[in-house]
């Protein structure tokens, strides 16, 4: 289990230090700083072992969060906890920055006491936490006994993530399918690896204790129904269904039901939360194709031509497109010509950055650049790092579709039809690279 | 070095550095640096030629980026361009960049060297200095190659500026330290010495560092510096504090120069010239006098400078060790420092006194401070000072104060710092032994030592106690008694148990008369410690038990019971188990006579000095032994100290552990019945001793017992039901050559081809050829039977040290030899250095199911690598005389075993490989030969003279053979080989 938790700023100064177990001493704080933060080579592994002590760290902008343990813990659990903690903190005070952490250190210690007990993670649901850890402090009116007992029963009860008696005039819910598509492609256009990791994020403003049911075009479910005989055309349904490699759910989802019937039913928390996470690797729609052409002219010149093609319905518009073409380390000058968007050589990043605001589907655009090089002493050849790309498209590259989201509330008198539902798909680029 | 002044300031650089300093994160810093690098690249690439200022600025930035830890792979060219600038700042930055970022890129190095050469030959002293600094800072071999010739010229040239001379001297020193072979001595050396007379003190200071370093390698060339140094020193010492102006440091005239002069003088013996010596003594006296004067300043720098000179002077006095008056004065001066407030001074005083104590003149004077030193040992707060105090006590110890000092050290040991305990223990042990008049005092001291600091008592210490106790009859009884008493303490150290076990096992009978220490009580006492001890100690205790059985037959049943218990006889440790089993069998099977013989009391060790003492003796009287020397002594002690090896339980155990499977292997060997005497390990020969009851062998206690373990094994082998104790699964790998193989070897000394071996199954033919240090042997294995040999394998091994002397490679041979067929094997041999053994050839094959195994010596002898040398009579005798040292000659007079036939003799000598020289010896009957043995490591020239005497007195034919060669081992071996031939 987690023995301690430390938060450092970029210089390695300790901002927050909370030790849960005796086997973690003060020196652990310094060990991490010396061996990881101050290490000349950037430590690339998120798990570091120093003197029989394991350090799990994540970085949020300039802030290091490190969990320490001497035991053989489940590393995935520790990272899940760290991410959850970041979520909780940002829900409380916004961006995680040195300034914010310093200003809220009392709150953070309070939160740490609550969400980690003797190193065992506890309820880290923001909604539930906010009922009893408030930022205002106890001023004037203390909570009534009833309120207190309500909090106790909620936190210790079966449904710890939602309190009773919530009322809204308008019952509304928002569903976002957010996906990031990762790709590595060879110069010849062969896909070397590709996968989509997606999240279904929900924002619910529903009264009472509603029971929800979520349906999507999961291949297993569709096939089952197909067998049941409701769909006549298995080919059609097969085409539109997707194979999900793995998925995880928010704690509110009834896993037993998912296991037996593969239906996703739950009582949603109030406000924003992440309903599920999933990953697919098959039949991914790649929104863009990058065709690089690099020619070395002598020792002091390099010619680069890059073509990008959009590969989706012409009616849709991709946004925030950015192509990053790495340049050799001995570049001394760059001339760029592009038809669309703006391109610039950024010396500080050793790359040509080409930005296009909007681009419709089934279009093509190109950039060409001449790079002048300075002859150097060492004969090290340029490693030719891949060309990477960023974009945002209004569909799910995995092909996931939300089929339904039903809401049942038996006690209060509103039905599924009265709830206003919004669904949105956003596909973003993860690590989207093409070798050149 | 002038800093970058404001008017010349590089604003861009300052901005860049402050940008970097302001970066919030590593990423931001890298971004800023990348941007700057791109900017510099574009500037360097640009078509416009850069002016000197911007070039300097960008090179500076690159240097800064490099120092931040980023790779810089361009800009070298621009830096080299800066070198040829005429502006100081630009040149300086250029040199700075070059000396930080120099790489051995050939074209650039040429340019750089060129630029440096230009600067060296320029008349501008600043530029010359810059160039010299760059050479010294880089200091690489390439630099030395290029400039080692030039710099001495600059150094001694009459018109060189003083500052340049200083730099040149230090630069040359640096080059000499990195590549001394490239700095050639020449006529400049004598002129360098005269720099000591230079007007400029800075030049003298720089030159003296160089001279000190050079004179350590070639003292003779710089002998003249002594008188110059003395006169310079006397001028400084006698000068008033105001005379030297710039070189006066807190009222002390030129302290650094004085120290260096004194140190230089320490490289040489006292000057022989009376006048010079008188002047020097006068100087030293002045220095000692000045130390008595009241300080001119209260500043610590003043006293530091003064004391630095004083300590250097004292070291010189100690180094000369010939002026009793000065030595005593120095000692008194140091005595004052012993109680000085300053810790550093106390430390230095103790350290210098240690060396003073070793001088016969000042030893007594040092001894007067004993109380102060003991006090320092007890009260000093700083552990390093305490250590020096302990060192000094050790150094000043002699027969008169040994008891006091040892007692003090022992009592201090109880509270001593852990870091110095081991050393203290060793010192106490050495002193106690060295000055022991009364050996019971010695035994008491060492036992006390073990009691107080058992953990720090090294093996050698207790080995030595045992050695001394065994060799001195008068203390044995006392030792047994004391040990017995010491063991009665509830918690005793394992080393104590070791000593106790050993001594009671040997001399327990001496105290058995007392009912309080009856045999059974002794045994029970020892056995009560048994379970708390480590395996080696337990093994030792088991040996003590078996000795008890011999000493006190009444304890036999008790001890057998113990040995029989599961915890012994089935112990998981193989050593303990083996001992338990063997001792049990030995005690139950062997008769009392056999037991008494096997387990007889240890014979006295031959009186040998402990090596540590021997080392100390060399130093004339009780010397100061530094930690290093002590440690060294300790190591040697382990090797040489008689007690160390022979009483050494652990070494014996280590030996037996190393050959754990040996008992069974030997056992098998016994069954197979090869001659035990030949090359079997020591255990084999000991076995013979036991069987023949030829009394004890004089090996150590455990060695003495060790063979009995072997013997009990063999007893077991004869008895029934032995299979579990020694499963005969290990095939003897012991390559014991056939007894006749030595004869076979002799057959081939003078010839290269023939039949090496023959029996009813196999014939081995040999054909060999040698060239220089290489040889090739063809072996022909002939199957004489009509049945095929299967799994025919041969291996060639080089036993022992031969491995490093010969390089033998054999090609594998076909595993199957048909009846009547013959197979060939090629063996390549390279002679690395001279050798005396022969490689072993092991042959294994199956003939009709039976495994045949035989080992032969390959006829490779040292003479095979002879290269004949023809020479005239005159040459021969000249060389003969050159090799006249006694160890270079080997001579043998022996009877002729064959008829004296001149022609046969000649043929044999030719076959030997040397050149047979005609008409050399005045007596035509005699034969002389000359040759050179070729090995990879060296060539050994050898000369031989064979004088036949057909009518000796007894009527028999005799030969006198004399071999001389440049290496003693070669002469001996050749002589041995040849003696068998005629």
Write the pLDDT tens digit of every residue in B231-269: 889 888 888 767 777 888 888 888 999 999 999 999 888
pLDDT of residue A360 exceeding 90, the answer is yes
Same domain, residue pair A27 and A55: yes
Strand partners, A114: none
CB contact under 8 A, B42 and A332: yes
Number of neighbouring beta carbons within 10 Å of residue B610? 25
* DSSP assignments along B98-151, one per residue: HHHH----HHHHHHHHHHHHHHHHSS-HHHHHHHHHHHHHH--HHHHHHHTTHH
CATH number of the domain bearing residue A29? 3.30.450.60
- Of the candidates B693, B692, B665, the one whose C-alpha atom is nearest the C-alpha of residue B680 is B665
Residue of A nearest to B30 (CA): A348
Separation in Å, CA of B34 to nearest CA in chain A:
4
Separation in Å, CA of B101 to nearest CA in chain A:
12
User: Model pTM?
Assistant: 0.57
pLDDT of residue B876 exceeding 50, the answer is yes
Measured CA distances, A393 to A177, A286, B259, B476 (Å): 12, 11, 81, 99
pLDDT 10s digits, B749-779: 777 788 887 887 888 888 888 887 888 888 8
The mean pLDDT value of chain B amounts to: 77
Crossing angle of helices B459-471 and B439-453, rounded to 10°: 160
Same domain, residue pair A276 and A301: no
CB contact under 8 A, B37 and A347: yes
Q: What percent of chain A has pLDDT over 70?
A: 94
Q: Is residue A354 part of a domain?
A: yes
What lies within 8 Å, CB to CB, of A364 at 6+ separation is A307, A308, A309, A310
- Partners of B74 on chain A (C-beta within 8 Å) are 330, 374-377
- Of the candidates B685, B691, B697, B612, the one whose C-alpha atom is nearest the C-alpha of residue B646 is B697
Weakest-pLDDT range from A129-143, A161-175, A298-312 = A129-143
- Partners of A329 on chain B (C-beta within 8 Å) are 37, 73
Nearest to B32 among A348, A350, A380 (CB): A348
pLDDT of residue B385 exceeding 70, the answer is yes
Indicate the number of domains in chain A: 3
Report the run of H or E that residue B41 belongs to, with start and end: helix B26-45
Please state the three-class secondary structure of B616-669 as a single string: HHHCCCCCCCCHHHHHHHHHHHHHHCHHHHHCCHHHHHHHHHHCCCHHHHHHHH
Same domain, residue pair A302 and A275: no
d(CA B897, CA B875): 32
pLDDT at B634: 40
Domain containing A125: what range? Answer: 4-130
Separation in Å, CA of A358 to nearest CA in chain B:
28
Q: Is residue A187 part of a domain?
A: yes
pLDDT of residue B196 exceeding 90, the answer is no
CATH number of the domain bearing residue A214? 2.60.40.1170
Same domain, residue pair A8 and A122: yes
Residue A148, CA atoms < 13 Å, CB-side half-sphere: 5
- Of the candidates B931, B938, B969, the one whose C-alpha atom is nearest the C-alpha of residue B832 is B938
Phi, psi of A180 (to 5 degrees): -125, 130
Nearest to B45 among A40, A62, A332 (CB): A332
Q: Is residue A157 part of a domain?
A: no
Helices (runs of H) and strands (runs of E) counted in chain A: 9, 23
Average of pLDDT values for B801-807?
80
Helix (H, G, I), strand (E, B) or coil at B49: coil
Q: How confident is the model at residue B594 (pLDDT cuts 50, 70, 90)?
A: confident
Same domain, residue pair A267 and A353: no
Instruction: Check if the beta carbon of residue B480 is closer than 8 Å to that of residue B544.
Output: no
Structure tokens that stand for A107 in this block: 């709150």
Best interface-test mutation with A: which of B38, B44, B97 has the largest number of A CBs within 10 A?
B38
Q: How confident is the model at residue B690 (pLDDT cuts 50, 70, 90)?
A: very low
pLDDT of residue A377 exceeding 70, the answer is no
* Domain end among A103, A130, A157: A130
Q: Is residue A141 part of a domain?
A: no
pLDDT at B241: 67
CB contact under 8 A, A350 and B34: yes
- Give the dihedral sign, CA B141/B143/B149/B154: negative
Measured CA distances, B196 to A94, B37, B157, B264 (Å): 76, 50, 15, 12
Q: How many CB pairs under 8 A join A and B?
A: 51
- Partners of A333 on chain B (C-beta within 8 Å) are 42, 45
- Partners of A331 on chain B (C-beta within 8 Å) are 38, 41
Same domain, residue pair A272 and A314: no
Return the residue matching tokens 């009834």: A254
pLDDT of residue B514 exceeding 90, the answer is no
Instruction: Check if the beta carbon of residue B630 is closer than 8 Å to that of residue B693.
Output: no
Helix (H, G, I), strand (E, B) or coil at B916: strand
CB contact under 8 A, B42 and A333: yes
Please state the three-class secondary structure of B725-752 as a single string: CCCCCCCCCCCCCCCCHHHHHHHCCCCC
d(CA B277, CA A339): 95
Q: Is residue A135 part of a domain?
A: no
pLDDT of residue B399 exceeding 50, the answer is yes
Best interface-test mutation with B: which of A344, A348, A373 has the largest number of B CBs within 10 A?
A348
Residue of A nearest to B106 (CA): A377
Q: Is residue A248 part of a domain?
A: yes
Q: Is residue A158 part of a domain?
A: no
- Partners of A42 on chain B (C-beta within 8 Å) are 26
- Partners of A62 on chain B (C-beta within 8 Å) are 24-25
Weakest-pLDDT range from A239-248, A302-311, A389-398, B665-674 = B665-674
d(CA B545, CA B551): 10
d(CA B938, CA A304): 65
Average of pLDDT values for B336-365?
85
Same domain, residue pair A280 and A400: yes
Same domain, residue pair A69 and A202: no
CB contact under 8 A, B73 and A376: yes
Same domain, residue pair A279 and A319: no
d(CA B709, CA B730): 19
Same domain, residue pair A274 and A315: no
Order of strands across the sheet that contains B754-758: B754-758, B762-771, B774-783, B822-831, B806-810
With an 8 Å Cβ cutoff, the interface of chain A facing chain B consists of: 10, 40, 42, 62, 329-333, 347-350, 372, 374-378, 380
Q: What's the DSSP call for residue B516?
A: G
pLDDT of residue B952 exceeding 70, the answer is no
What lies within 8 Å, CB to CB, of A389 at 6+ separation is A288, A290, A308, A321, A322, A323, A324, A429, A432, A433, A434
d(CA B521, CA B526): 9
pLDDT 10s digits, B881-935: 877 777 788 888 877 777 777 777 787 777 777 887 777 777 777 888 888 888 8
Same domain, residue pair A76 and A186: no
Same domain, residue pair A8 and A88: yes
pLDDT of residue B572 exceeding 60, the answer is yes
Q: How confident is the model at residue A58 (pLDDT cuts 50, 70, 90)?
A: very high
Structure tokens that stand for B203 in this block: 């030049």
CB contact under 8 A, A377 and B105: yes
d(CA B472, CA B133): 68
d(CA B627, CA B359): 19
- Partners of B107 on chain A (C-beta within 8 Å) are none
* Domain end among A71, A97, A130: A130
Residue of A nearest to B40 (CA): A332
Separation in Å, CA of A101 to nearest CA in chain B:
17
| Own/partner long-range contacts of B647-650 (Cβ < 8 Å, ≥24 apart) | B647/B462, B647/B463, B647/B466, B647/B467, B647/B470, B647/B502, B647/B605, B647/B700, B647/B701, B648/B459, B648/B463, B648/B700, B648/B702, B649/B498, B649/B502, B649/B536, B649/B537, B649/B539, B649/B540, B649/B701, B649/B702, B650/B459, B650/B536
Weakest-pLDDT range from A120-124, A145-149, B62-66, B705-709 = B705-709
pLDDT 10s digits, B63-89: 999 999 888 888 888 888 888 888 888
CB contact under 8 A, A374 and B25: no
d(CA B959, CA B949): 6
Separation in Å, CA of A168 to nearest CA in chain B:
46
Q: Going along B759-797, which residue ranges are E strands? A: 762-771, 774-783, 789-797
d(CA B690, CA B676): 13
Helix (H, G, I), strand (E, B) or coil at B769: strand
- Of the candidates B639, B644, B687, the one whose C-alpha atom is nearest the C-alpha of residue B666 is B687
- Of the candidates B168, B90, B85, the one whose C-alpha atom is nearest the C-alpha of residue B125 is B168
Q: Is residue A389 part of a domain?
A: yes
Environment class of residue B848 by beta-carbon count within 10 Å: exposed (0-12), middle (13-18) or buried (19+)?
exposed
Binding-site residues of A, please? 342, 344, 346, 355, 357
């Amino acid at each position: 289990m987690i023995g301690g938790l430390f938060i450092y700023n970029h210089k390695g100064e300790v901002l927050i230090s909370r030790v849960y177990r005796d086997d973690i001493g003060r020196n652990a704080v310094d060990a991490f700083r010396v061996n990881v933060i101050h290490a000349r080579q950037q430590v690339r592994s998120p798990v570091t072992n120093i003197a029989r002590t394991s350090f799990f760290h994540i970085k949020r902008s300039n802030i290091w969060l490190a969990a320490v343990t001497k035991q053989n813990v489940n590393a995935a659990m520790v990272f899940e906890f760290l991410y959850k903690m970041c979520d909780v903190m940002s829900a409380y005070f916004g961006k995680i920055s040195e300034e914010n952490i310093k200003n809220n250190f009392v709150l953070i210690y309070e939160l740490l006491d609550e969400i980690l007990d003797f190193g065992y993670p506890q309820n880290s649901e923001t909604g539930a936490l906010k009922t009893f850890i408030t930022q205002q402090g106890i001023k004037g009116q203390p909570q009534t006994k009833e309120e207190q007992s309500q909090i106790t029963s909620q936190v210790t009860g079966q449904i710890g993530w939602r309190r009773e008696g919530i009322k809204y005039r308008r019952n509304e819910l928002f569903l976002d399918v957010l996906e990031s598509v990762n790709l590595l492609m060879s110069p010849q256009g062969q896909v070397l690896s590709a996968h989509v990791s997606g999240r279904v994020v929900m924002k619910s403003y529903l009264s009472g204790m509603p029971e929800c049911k979520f349906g999507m075009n999961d291949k297993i479910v569709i096939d089952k129904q197909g067998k049941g005989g409701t769909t006549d055309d298995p080919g059609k349904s097969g085409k539109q269904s997707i194979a999900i490699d793995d998925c995880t759910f928010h704690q509110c989802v009834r896993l037993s039901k998912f296991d037996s019937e593969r239906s996703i039913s739950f009582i949603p928390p109030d406000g924003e939360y992440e309903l599920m996470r999933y990953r697919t690797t098959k039949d991914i729609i790649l929104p863009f194709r990058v065709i690089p052409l690099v020619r070395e002219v002598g020792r002091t010149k390099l010619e680069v031509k890059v073509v990008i093609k959009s590969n989706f319905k012409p009616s849709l518009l991709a946004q925030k497109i950015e192509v990053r073409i790495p340049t050799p380390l001995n570049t001394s000058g760059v001339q760029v010509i592009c038809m669309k968007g703006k391109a610039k050589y950024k010396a500080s990043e050793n790359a040509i950055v080409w930005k296009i605001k909007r681009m419709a589907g089934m279009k093509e655009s190109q950039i060409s650049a001449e790079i002048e090089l300075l002859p150097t002493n060492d004969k090290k050849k340029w490693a030719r790092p891949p060309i990477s790309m960023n974009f945002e498209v209004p569909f799910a590259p995995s092909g996931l579709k939300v089929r339904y989201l039903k809401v049942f509330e038996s006690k209060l008198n509103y039905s599924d039809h009265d709830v206003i539902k919004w669904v949105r798909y956003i596909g973003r680029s993860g690590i989207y690279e093409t070798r050149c | 070095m002038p800093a970058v002044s404001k008017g010349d300031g590089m604003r861009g650089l300052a901005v860049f550095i402050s940008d970097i300093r302001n970066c919030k994160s590593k990423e931001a810093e890298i971004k800023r640096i990348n941007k700057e690098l791109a900017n510099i690249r574009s500037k360097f690439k640009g078509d416009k030629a850069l002016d000197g200022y911007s070039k300097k600025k960008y090179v500076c930035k690159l240097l800064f980026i490099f120092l931040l830890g980023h790779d810089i792979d361009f800009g070298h060219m621009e830096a080299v361009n800066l070198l040829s600038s005429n502006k100081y700042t630009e040149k300086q930055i250029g040199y700075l960049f070059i000396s930080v970022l120099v790489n051995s890129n050939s074209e650039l190095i040429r340019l750089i060297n060129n630029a440096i050469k230009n600067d060296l030959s320029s008349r501008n002293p600043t530029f010359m200095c810059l160039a010299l600094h760059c050479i010294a800072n880089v200091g690489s071999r390439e630099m030395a190659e290029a400039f080692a010739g030039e710099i001495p010229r600059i150094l001694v040239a009459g018109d060189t500026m003083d500052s340049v001379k200083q730099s040149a001297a230090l630069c040359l020193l640096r080059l000499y330290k990195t590549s001394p072979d490239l700095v050639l001595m020449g006529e400049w050396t004598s002129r360098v010495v005269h720099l000591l007379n230079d007007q400029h003190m800075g030049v003298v200071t720089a030159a003296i560092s160089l001279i000190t370093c050079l004179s350590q390698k070639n003292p003779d060339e710089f002998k003249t510096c002594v008188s110059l140094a003395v006169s310079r020193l006397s001028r400084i010492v006698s000068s008033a504090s105001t005379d030297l102006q710039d070189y006066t440091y807190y009222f002390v005239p030129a302290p650094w120069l004085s120290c260096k002069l004194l140190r230089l003088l320490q490289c040489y013996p006292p000057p022989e010239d009376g006048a010079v010596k008188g002047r020097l003594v006068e100087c030293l006296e002045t220095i000692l006098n000045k130390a008595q004067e009241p300080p001119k300043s209260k500043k610590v720098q003043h006293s530091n400078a003064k004391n630095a000179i004083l300590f250097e002077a004292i070291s010189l006095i100690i180094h000369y060790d010939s002026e009793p008056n000065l030595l005593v004065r120095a000692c008194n001066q140091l005595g004052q420092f012993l109680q000085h407030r300053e810790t550093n001074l106390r430390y230095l005083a103790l350290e210098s006194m240690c060396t003073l104590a070793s001088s016969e003149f000042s030893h007594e004077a040092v001894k007067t401070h004993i109380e102060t030193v003991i006090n320092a040992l007890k009260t000093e707060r700083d552990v390093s000072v305490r250590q020096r105090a302990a060192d000094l006590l050790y150094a000043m110890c002699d027969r008169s104060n040994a008891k006091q000092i040892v007692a003090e050290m022992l009592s201090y040991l109880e509270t001593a710092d852990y870091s110095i305990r081991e050393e203290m223990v060793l010192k106490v042990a050495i002193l106690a032994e060295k000055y022991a008049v009364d050996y019971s005092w010695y035994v008491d001291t060492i036992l006390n030592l073990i009691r107080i600091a058992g953990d720090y008592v090294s093996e050698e210490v207790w080995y030595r106690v045992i050695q001394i106790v065994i060799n001195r009859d008068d203390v044995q009884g006392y030792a047994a008694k004391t040990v017995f008493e010491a063991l009665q303490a509830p918690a005793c150290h394992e080393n104590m148990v070791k000593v106790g076990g050993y001594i009671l096992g040997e001399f327990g009978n001496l105290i058995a008369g007392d009912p309080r220490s009856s045999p059974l009580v002794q045994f029970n006492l020892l056995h009560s410690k048994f379970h708390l001890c480590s395996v080696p100690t337990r093994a030792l205790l088991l040996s003590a038990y078996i000795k008890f059985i011999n000493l006190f037959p009444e304890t036999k049943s008790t001890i057998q019971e113990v040995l029989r218990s599961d915890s012994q006889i089935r112990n998981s440790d193989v050593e303990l188990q083996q001992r338990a089993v063997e001792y049990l069998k030995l005690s139950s099977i062997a008769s009392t006579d056999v037991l008494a013989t096997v387990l007889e009391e240890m014979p006295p060790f031959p009186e040998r000095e402990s090596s540590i003492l021997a080392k100390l003796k060399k130093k004339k009287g009780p010397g100061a032994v530094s930690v290093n020397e002590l440690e060294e002594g300790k190591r040697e002690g382990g090797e040489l100290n008689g007690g160390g090896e022979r009483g050494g339980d652990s070494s014996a155990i280590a030996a037996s552990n190393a050959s754990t499977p040996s008992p069974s292997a030997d056992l098998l060997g016994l069954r197979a019945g090869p001659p035990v005497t030949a090359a079997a390990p020591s255990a084999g020969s000991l076995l013979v001793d036991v069987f023949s009851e030829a009394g004890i062998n004089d090996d150590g206690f455990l060695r003495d017992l060790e063979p009995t373990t072997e013997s009990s094994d063999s007893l077991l082998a004869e008895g029934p039901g032995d299979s579990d104790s020694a499963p005969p699964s290990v095939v003897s790998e012991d390559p014991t050559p056939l007894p006749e193989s030595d004869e076979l070897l002799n057959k081939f000394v003078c010839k290269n081809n023939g039949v090496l071996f023959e029996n009813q199954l196999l014939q081995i033919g040999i054909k060999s050829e040698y060239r220089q240090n290489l040889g090739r042997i063809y072996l022909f294995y002939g199957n004489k039977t009509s049945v095929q040999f299967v799994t025919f394998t041969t291996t060639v091994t080089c036993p022992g040290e031969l491995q490093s002397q010969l390089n033998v490679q054999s090609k594998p041979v076909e595993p199957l030899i048909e009846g009547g067929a013959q197979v060939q094997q090629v063996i390549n041999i390279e002679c690395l250095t001279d050798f005396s053994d022969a490689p072993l050839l092991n042959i294994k094959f199956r003939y009709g199911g039976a495994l045949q195994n035989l080992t032969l010596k390959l006829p490779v002898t040292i003479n095979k690598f002879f290269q004949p040398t023809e020479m005239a009579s005159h040459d021969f005798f000249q060389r003969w005389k050159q090799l006249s040292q006694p160890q270079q000659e080997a001579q043998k007079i022996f009877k002729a075993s064959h008829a004296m036939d001149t022609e046969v003799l000649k043929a044999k000598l030719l076959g030997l490989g040397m050149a047979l020289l005609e008409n050399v010896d005045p007596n035509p009957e005699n034969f002389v030969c000359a040759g050179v043995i070729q090995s990879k490591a060296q060539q050994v020239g050898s000369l031989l003279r064979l004088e036949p005497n057909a009518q000796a007195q007894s009527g028999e034919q005799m030969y006198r053979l004399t071999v001389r060669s440049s290496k003693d081992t070669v002469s001996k071996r050749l002589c041995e080989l040849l003696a068998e031939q005629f």
